[in-house]
Amino acid sequence: MSTSTSTKVVSSRLTGWFFILFALTVIGIWLSYTPDGVQGKADAVGYAICHRIEERSFTTYGDRQLPMCARCSGIYTGVMVGFISIAAVGRLRASRLPTLKVGMVMLLFLIVFGVDGLNSYFHLFPNFEGGLYEPNNTLRVSTGFFVGLSMIHGLLPFWNASVWHPKVLDLRRAVNNLREFAMYIGVAIIVLLLILLNSPFIMLIVGFMSTIGVLLVLTLAMSSMFMNILRLDGSYTHWSQLWLPMLVGLTAAIILIGGIDALRYALTGTWEGFTFVTQAGGT
């Protein structure tokens, strides 16, 4: 081995160890300052991205509120169901966006999500009269779920296109046509029906799945930025090579979550969700 090659190997190992120690430090600090227990840590993740209004959230054993509201729980559970479904059909490396027809269906999901979100938002205000309909958690989780399902079909191909070397790039789509997308929607409906059973056990799973969904989305986004900044995009050929970008992405995600946690706690002094005085039935 030449001196130049030996130096690069040592430098690479030192860089790897630096990021490992840095990640352990960041994660350790975050774990130390967030609520106790696994569910407490999940709550801290939700606390960074969601209002966590009690009336707009599902509960699990002991009437414990889920880490996120019904809508956010739907979004990130949808992300995870989509991700698992893509992996199950062997298209985890797919790098092309959905077809226009599938994209139009996804856009429709987003529009319905937006309309329901605005209608729900206005019902936060006391004595609000009007609105399109009375909002409820069934609509919140359902509209969120289909947006999350659509989100991963956009995010994952984008990430794949920025990661893999051209010689190993998978030029397939995660979903090729409306018929295939209907199958994903069918899976989503089954999962939604299970969620709407309101079983404490299922809700516990939803709480953890949605938390992992948040971390997945942020890690993919942050790792992509890291590779782009260092001009490493399009240079990977094996999953095993991605441990460092993914570790950096996860660490950056925890830093972002921890920063928002700290700011929100400094402003509110509590880990609980926001509280609004709403009219009867308008939660």
pLDDT in tens, the chain (283 residues): 444 444 444 456 778 889 999 999 999 999 999 999 999 999 999 999 999 999 999 999 998 999 999 999 999 999 999 999 999 999 999 999 999 999 999 999 999 999 999 999 888 877 777 778 889 999 999 999 999 999 999 999 999 999 999 999 999 999 999 999 999 999 999 999 999 999 999 999 999 999 999 999 999 999 999 999 989 888 999 999 999 999 999 999 999 999 999 999 999 999 998 876 544 334 3
* The model's pTM: 0.90
CB 78 within 8 A of CB 188: yes
**205 contacts: CB under 8 Å, gap ≥ 6:** none
CB 181 within 8 A of CB 102: yes
